[in-house]
Chains A and B, each alone.
Chain A
Amino acid sequence: MKESYLILEDGAIFKGASTHDVESVGEVVFNTSHSGYEEMATDPSYYNQILVTTAVMQGNYGAHQEFWESEKLHIKGFVCLEVQNSSRDKSWQERLKDHNIPLLSEVDTRTLVLHLREQGAVWGGVFNSPDKEAAFKKIKEMKDEHLLKDWTEVVSTSSIHHFDGLSKDAGHVGVLDFGCKKNIIRELIKRFSKVSVFPSKTSKEEILSSGISGLLLSNGPGDPGLVGEPVEVIKNLLGELPVMGICMGHQLLGRALGGDTFKLKYGHRGANHPIKDLDSGFIFMSSQNHGYALKESFKTQGTSVSHLNLNDNTVAGIQLKEKDCFSVQFHPESHPGPHEAEYLFDRFSSMVNKK
């Protein structure tokens, strides 16, 4: 273990210890989930982000490929208080090392989180030296390179690929991949006969010609305001087939319906956020991971808020019944987090399969 630092662009510096001296820069965000470090680290929505876990003990149950939510680790750094470091098992540490992801432990994460909560989302980096000026420079370079870009394109699949579904009598659905978590695919596989995954920038025609009868807009990283073309594609697809959106997909659906997105002060990331389904009154715990949210104003008539985040009353879901589309800000596919929102996949399935 050697001393390393998390330096934030606002000048704050947090000391920690690192086993491998990789440096890297990203937006610094925190997640309050007790478990699921591996799922989080492989979630493409964390692209370009340094993940701080508020749960203090990390790596306790090792590393297992089966928990991966994509093919790689997307985080730019992993910051925690303690990480499993025994001769028997330090697999999580090694996994991070193998993938060149900086690991900074022994950090006063609570003070860091309170800082992030008060200051709002900031960029920062894991560095081997406490030299702030050098750090600021690197942070700025990285921000200049990435900040005004569409991140979903980077993490999206490069080509269309297909999965056989388990529900042979059900329909064929597509996923517009903005950084899709594997468990969304798994949930769809359970409910449909075939699942096709499209790169985020696929055209309307190509999507429709594939023969799918429903489209899921996946989660993904970054600013939904910078995603561009897909919003137009979605807009044009509405009414053609049922659409379900998750997280980034929700924000893009909202934009396609004439809504606007805004950046939350420090985002919602965790597994304990209460959501109310306004149709049924059902209140449940959700898995969340988003830095942006939809404003409660839509230009398209008939669009309504279907789900509310009860912590801060932000929009957590919308629907437009006549166009067979709905979306949620949280993660019904969980991983990590509670499974209570799975019913939304069933809703999507019944929308698609009734047709």
Chain B
Amino acid sequence: MSKETVKKEKILIIGSGPIKIGQACEFDYSGTQACKALKDKGYEVILINSNPATIMTDPNVADHVYIEPLSTEYIEAIIKKDKPTKVVPTLGGQTALNLALELHQKGILEKYGVELLGATPEVIEAAEDREKFNAILDKVGAKYAKSYMVRTLKEGEEAIADLDFPVILRPNFTLGGGGGGVAYSLEEYRQKVANALHESPTSEVLVEQSLLGWKEFELEVMRDRLGTFVVICSIENIDPCGVHTGDSITVAPQQSLSDKAYQEMRDEAKKITEEVGVQTGGANIQFAVNPANGDRIVIEMNPRVSRSSALASKATGFPIAKIAAQLAVGATLDEITNDITGETPSCYEPALDYVVTKIPKFAFEKFHGSKDELSTQMKSVGEVMGIGRTFKESFGKAYRSLEVGSIFREDRIFFKDKISYPNSQRMTHIFQSLRAGISVDDLYHWTKITPWFLEQFKEMVDVEKELNSDLEKNYLKAKRFGFSDEDVKILLTKNHEKIKELSSKYKPTFFQVDTCAGEFASETPYLYSTFWSEVESGLKSQDKETVVVIGSGPNRIGQGIEFDYSCVRAVKKLRQMGYRVVMINSNPETVSTDYDTADVLFFEPLDKESILRIFDAVSPLGVLCQLGGQTPISLSKDISEAGYNIIGTPLDMIDLAEDRARFSKLCEKLDCKVPSSSVVVNYDEALEFASKAGYPVICRPSYVIGGRRMEIVEDKESLFKYFETNREVFGEGNPCFIDQFLEGGLEVDVDLIRFKDGCFIGGIVEHIEVAGVHSGDSMGVFPPQRLKKETQAEIERISVLLAENMGVLGLMNIQMAIKNDEIFIIEANPRASRTIPFIAKAMGVSLVDFAVEAMMGLKMPESLKSFRWDSIKTVAVKGVVFPFKKFPETDSILGPEMKSTGESMGRGENFPEALLKAFQGSDFKIPKEGEVFLSLREKDKKELLPVAQKLSELGFSLTGTKGTAEYFVEKGLDCEVVNKVLEGRPHCVDRIRSGKVNLVVNTTAGRQSINASYSIRRSCTDFSVPCLTESEAAKAYVLALTENKSGHVRVEPLTLTL
């Protein structure tokens, strides 16, 4: 057969869906790599993923991209339509593995003759099912933590006879670990077993040998079909067992095991991988090692690409996912050339001549009420990686990458419990305690962190003092420990001017991540800086002009994968345009930090010093700051002041957008409305403003830390209370921003591209929830469903006017609120936005590519001039994913502070279909029948009457709190009254917790009623009952419910229009 006549074989890749805690953009990285690898191998690649913010769902990454909910129904529809013969389930996290298992169990794979690659159902079960896995461990002679399922007090006595204290008690089916805990003595154990048995609805408690204080390690391994086995990376957790590995600070390669201990671990990993039955691909195995005697225990195994494998890929330069995909279709490690060296084969274990440190990034401040405590439930929202020659250099650089300020400051106040009980602030308290003279021995006693690491921290603290005694002599040492010049400056009591001089005297060298510790020559420019060399790096380009793209740093709530999407697209476009593109980023989970995304990759902190040092080395034509979200925007002043060219919108206009007063003035000049606002220092001034502007008003401190203390105030009394509660916060120097709040207003996001010769409107996304919910947390629809055409035209006119007058070149996102057909500008950001990938994919227009052309000074292409965003035939809805389940004490009510971690996209022929898919895509349950409990605030009752009527019509039974129920009964509906919590038991929360309720609609306002209804929402979160807290969202949800009843499952791949 000639090549032309061979029909391409089709492979389906399952993605991991919206970004959530524990499953984030590392799977975009692995999925994107895999798609590329399989396309290169000649396969026709089909992809399903509900997450529009990813690179992998870019229409040109796979051959057919489906942004559809990740459920077997939709996957079956795709299989039916496109007829793939193989499915790769190992690259989309646990979501994809579970789906694969479900497809198998439902007989779908068999029905269509589809083969699972990489992991069979047996392998997935062997690794997931604790009993099966333990049997495998027994077989290979590996140890595991002993555990017993206890159902009675007597069984409890039997179990403890065979275990050593401390033991962990895990009651079955209680959420957030309620009723569980650690027992350190028999007495404590007996009492806790009794309590735990009581708390567990099934009266089952898992009693497990505690590994608290054991050292924790991870091996990232790969295997091919011939059985060649390699360890790609060994990772050591600084935090000992007890903290989820995703929340631990980790180091690669492992530092504290002898070769003997390490090789034994390696042997065991090999045996387990083989025995579990992993045929090809990557896996990760976690171990605990007793520091007292070296005993080793297997914690768990994942027979798939994982979060750690993304980290391992970035730490070593070994592209695990790419190679896993190649292995899955039959290649062997020895056949695949090592990309980085370009000559040696991929059957090798990377050798590192540097150290990497990963530090997780947390967002506890966003979740009021949740305790900042780390345990076995992962809570971090992102991570950074620092590469340095030594541990200290890598740790220092990683810490700088967190963007949380310096750890090196003259602060000696520490709390012992913040050291002995793991929490997100532990590292700063450890540093502070070392400064206060606490010994490594004490710290070891409190934390069980391997002393070797504690000593490294101590050395870092010691150099702080030395800097003040002799700067000249110790400057280089501090740099080698990862200190930035800013860190040095903070520490110095005098001599600040000297730093500049020393800074220009000592320059970093850029070394390569080459997978082989220098043994073989390598051309791949994957670089990191170090002060451990004096060699000049010679990174100036010989032939092409250099453009730098600054990434977005660690994922956090409000700045996530969508900005990586924009960066990656821009890098590709710039490379196409013939530039040599330099990427700088510190986030190991991303596609942008793949070594083959840009021409040169610098894995570096995104701080002033790091980026300027890179610019000095590469002499760029200019720097793109518009794509990586707020991080590069914040750096633009430093970049400009250092004499480098910011490509696109000039610095002054970036400043204008950030400066509320200047911005308001401009709006005024352009005859555009902005909500009236003021800056006040006390209640009296606030009252004066509010009386003029009218209630409600929105209040927040001028220094907003993640939107904390931001509140919508409904009346005079609440305003007084707000100032009473926050008395400590406000005063001269710390004023309160107070804005008119456009209650009931409709909010929109507008994205546009301004070329030097005109503007292109990317589109208008209409928020589903009304004003008051953060734009990142509200669902959105494209094109708008409620706005009048004239209003849309006016929105476009204002947007263009603003862009022209701000001298924007490239992207701008504008948020507006519309009330009674009046348009108010809320804010304008001259940069890429969260909605860019969503709109781009909904329309099939590569907005970022065009934006890059605009920034680089090209004219608007003809194709854009004739294109209208509202010409699209489909409707797209953005769904949102929240992490409330992970934060046991937190209220799920939405407000002006963003809390979501990820988004989904639903595409449909009409609004209800798109809505349904958006809800499904973000794991929102859609019940087909059952009870709906409603508790509504006064003004929503009438508003939501049609919703209640529709629900009743659809066959749902209604219950409600007294006021709500009475209103509905009066309107002729059946609605049973249920007690509020304060009215005595059984109350509505009992009802929810007992599983009787299938849907909750709970709208509320004002601090007091919000607090009173907290337990309703919390019980919904705990028991996975869908809970709607906003009237427009409730209306939309009922549309989706109705659509769901129809039973249609339609799938449609993305198309590229422009």
Chain A interface residues toward B at CB < 8 A: 30, 32-36, 39, 54-57, 60-61, 64, 66-67, 81-82, 84, 86, 88-89, 106, 108-111, 113-114, 117, 270-274, 276, 281-285, 310-312, 334-340
Neighbouring B residues of A39 by C-beta, 8 Å: 259
Neighbouring A residues of B354 by C-beta, 8 Å: 56
Report which of B459, B518, B520 forms a contact with A110, defined as CB distance below 8 A. Answer: B518
Within the complex, what minimum Cβ distance (angstroms) separates A119 from chain B? 13
Contacts A64-B258, A89-B451 known; 20 new A-B pairs at CB < 8 A: A34-B234, A34-B254, A35-B262, A54-B519, A55-B351, A57-B355, A60-B452, A66-B260, A86-B451, A86-B455, A110-B511, A113-B517, A270-B519, A274-B347, A283-B347, A310-B344, A310-B345, A310-B347, A311-B344, A311-B345
How far, in angstroms, from A117 to B516 measured CA to CA in the complex? 12
How far, in angstroms, from A270 to B259 measured CA to CA in the complex? 12
Report which of B228, B229, B332, B349 forms a contact with A272, defined as CB distance below 8 A. Answer: B349
Main secondary structure of the interface of B (DSSP, over half): loop
**Known contacts A86-B455, A283-B334: A274-B533 contact under CB 8 Å:** no
**Known contacts A283-B333, A283-B334: A35-B535 contact under CB 8 Å:** no
Q: Is B579's beta carbon under 8 Å from chain A?
A: no
How far, in angstroms, from A110 to B393 measured CA to CA in the complex? 15
How far, in angstroms, from A32 to B535 measured CA to CA in the complex? 21
Neighbouring B residues of A35 by C-beta, 8 Å: 257-259, 262
Report which of B234, B451, B519 forms a contact with A32, defined as CB distance below 8 A. Answer: B519
Q: Is B267's beta carbon under 8 Å from chain A?
A: yes
Are A281 and B226 in contact, CB atoms less than 8 angstroms apart?
yes
Are B348 and A61 in contact, CB atoms less than 8 angstroms apart?
no
Are A276 and B351 in contact, CB atoms less than 8 angstroms apart?
no
Q: Is B391's beta carbon under 8 Å from chain A?
A: yes
Q: Is B910's beta carbon under 8 Å from chain A?
A: no
Report which of A81, A86, A334, A337 forms a contact with B390, defined as CB distance below 8 A. Answer: A81
Report which of B228, B257, B260, B389 forms a contact with A81, defined as CB distance below 8 A. Answer: B389
Neighbouring B residues of A282 by C-beta, 8 Å: 226-228
Within the complex, what minimum Cβ distance (angstroms) separates A233 from chain B? 34
Are B259 and A335 in contact, CB atoms less than 8 angstroms apart?
yes
Q: Is B425's beta carbon under 8 Å from chain A?
A: no
Q: Which residue of B lies closest to A115 (CB)?
A: B518
Within the complex, what minimum Cβ distance (angstroms) separates B289 from chain A? 12
Q: Which residue of A lies closest to B253 (CB)?
A: A34
Neighbouring B residues of A82 by C-beta, 8 Å: 390
How far, in angstroms, from A86 to B457 measured CA to CA in the complex? 11
Report which of A33, A84, A110, A111 forms a contact with B259, defined as CB distance below 8 A. Answer: A33
Q: Mind listing 7 A-B residue pairs with CB under 8 Å?
A: A35-B257, A110-B518, A117-B519, A274-B345, A281-B226, A283-B333, A335-B259
Neighbouring B residues of A57 by C-beta, 8 Å: 255, 355, 390-391
Which residues of chain B (519-571) have a CB below 8 Å from chain A? 519-521, 532-535
How many B residues face the partner with a CB closer than 8 A? 53
Neighbouring A residues of B348 by C-beta, 8 Å: 272-274, 285, 310-311
**Known contacts A272-B348, A337-B259: A110-B390 contact under CB 8 Å:** no
Are A55 and B257 in contact, CB atoms less than 8 angstroms apart?
no
Q: Is B640's beta carbon under 8 Å from chain A?
A: no
Which residues of chain B (344-371) have a CB below 8 Å from chain A? 344-345, 347-355
Within the complex, what minimum Cβ distance (angstroms) separates A284 from chain B? 7
Q: Is B150's beta carbon under 8 Å from chain A?
A: no
Neighbouring A residues of B516 by C-beta, 8 Å: 32
Q: Is B761's beta carbon under 8 Å from chain A?
A: no
**Known contacts A57-B355, A114-B518: A283-B228 contact under CB 8 Å:** yes
Are B532 and A338 in contact, CB atoms less than 8 angstroms apart?
no
Are B263 and A55 in contact, CB atoms less than 8 angstroms apart?
no
Q: Which residue of A lies closest to B255 (CB)?
A: A60
How far, in angstroms, from A335 to B263 measured CA to CA in the complex? 9
Residue among B228, B259, B332, B459 with the highest chain A CB neighbour number at 10 A: B259
Q: Is B230's beta carbon under 8 Å from chain A?
A: yes
Residues 612-652 of chain B, each 1 if its beta carbon lies under 8 Å from chain A, else 0 = 00000000000000000000000000000000000000000
Neighbouring B residues of A108 by C-beta, 8 Å: 532-535
Neighbouring B residues of A34 by C-beta, 8 Å: 234, 253-254, 262, 351-352
Q: Is B256's beta carbon under 8 Å from chain A?
A: yes
Are B517 and A32 in contact, CB atoms less than 8 angstroms apart?
yes
Within the complex, what minimum Cβ distance (angstroms) separates B292 from chain A? 14
**Known contacts A35-B257, A110-B511, A285-B230: A56-B263 contact under CB 8 Å:** no
Within the complex, what minimum Cβ distance (angstroms) separates A173 from chain B? 24
How far, in angstroms, from A336 to B260 measured CA to CA in the complex? 7
Q: Is B168's beta carbon under 8 Å from chain A?
A: no
Are A338 and B263 in contact, CB atoms less than 8 angstroms apart?
yes
How far, in angstroms, from A340 to B348 measured CA to CA in the complex? 13
Within the complex, what minimum Cβ distance (angstroms) separates B785 from chain A? 58
**Known contacts A34-B234, A339-B263: A61-B389 contact under CB 8 Å:** no
How far, in angstroms, from A284 to B349 measured CA to CA in the complex? 10
How far, in angstroms, from A301 to B639 measured CA to CA in the complex? 71
Are A336 and B259 in contact, CB atoms less than 8 angstroms apart?
yes
How far, in angstroms, from A106 to B480 measured CA to CA in the complex? 10
Are B353 and A55 in contact, CB atoms less than 8 angstroms apart?
yes
Neighbouring A residues of B521 by C-beta, 8 Å: 117
Q: Which residue of B lies closest to A35 (CB)?
A: B259
Within the complex, what minimum Cβ distance (angstroms) separates B517 from chain A? 4
How far, in angstroms, from A34 to B227 measured CA to CA in the complex? 24
**Known contacts A84-B452, A88-B451: A111-B258 contact under CB 8 Å:** no
Within the complex, what minimum Cβ distance (angstroms) separates B700 from chain A? 46
**Known contacts A35-B258, A56-B390, A81-B532: A338-B334 contact under CB 8 Å:** no
Are B263 and A334 in contact, CB atoms less than 8 angstroms apart?
yes
**Known contacts A34-B351, A113-B517, A285-B230: A339-B267 contact under CB 8 Å:** yes
How far, in angstroms, from A110 to B534 measured CA to CA in the complex? 11
How far, in angstroms, from A60 to B521 measured CA to CA in the complex? 29
Neighbouring A residues of B390 by C-beta, 8 Å: 56-57, 81-82
How far, in angstroms, from A273 to B345 measured CA to CA in the complex? 10
How far, in angstroms, from A223 to B83 measured CA to CA in the complex? 63
How far, in angstroms, from A54 to B532 measured CA to CA in the complex? 13
Q: Which residue of B lies closest to A62 (CB)?
A: B258
Within the complex, what minimum Cβ distance (angstroms) separates B326 from chain A? 16
Within the complex, what minimum Cβ distance (angstroms) separates B393 from chain A? 9
Are B351 and A61 in contact, CB atoms less than 8 angstroms apart?
no
**Known contacts A108-B535, A114-B518, A285-B230: A67-B260 contact under CB 8 Å:** yes
Q: Is B192's beta carbon under 8 Å from chain A?
A: no
How far, in angstroms, from A334 to B521 measured CA to CA in the complex? 26
Q: Is B325's beta carbon under 8 Å from chain A?
A: no
Which residues of chain B (438-467) have a CB below 8 Å from chain A? 440, 451-452, 455, 458-459
**Known contacts A54-B517, A61-B257, A337-B263: A110-B451 contact under CB 8 Å:** no
How far, in angstroms, from A281 to B534 measured CA to CA in the complex? 45
**Known contacts A35-B259, A114-B518, A310-B347: A88-B353 contact under CB 8 Å:** no
Which residues of chain B (214-232) have a CB below 8 Å from chain A? 226-230
How far, in angstroms, from A93 to B234 measured CA to CA in the complex? 25
Are A110 and B353 in contact, CB atoms less than 8 angstroms apart?
yes
How far, in angstroms, from A335 to B260 measured CA to CA in the complex? 7
Are B256 and A61 in contact, CB atoms less than 8 angstroms apart?
yes
Q: Is B756's beta carbon under 8 Å from chain A?
A: no
Q: Which residue of A lies closest to B517 (CB)?
A: A54
Q: Which residue of A lies closest to B228 (CB)?
A: A283
Are A61 and B263 in contact, CB atoms less than 8 angstroms apart?
no
How far, in angstroms, from A282 to B270 measured CA to CA in the complex? 14
Neighbouring B residues of A54 by C-beta, 8 Å: 351, 353, 517-519
Q: Is B266's beta carbon under 8 Å from chain A?
A: yes
Within the complex, what minimum Cβ distance (angstroms) separates B349 from chain A? 4
Within the complex, what minimum Cβ distance (angstroms) separates B468 from chain A? 21
Neighbouring A residues of B353 by C-beta, 8 Å: 32, 54-56, 109-110, 113
Neighbouring B residues of A272 by C-beta, 8 Å: 348-351
Residue among A34, A36, A114, A284 with the highest chain B CB neighbour number at 10 A: A34
Are A117 and B518 in contact, CB atoms less than 8 angstroms apart?
yes
Residues 864-907 of chain B, each 1 if its beta carbon lies under 8 Å from chain A, else 0 = 00000000000000000000000000000000000000000000
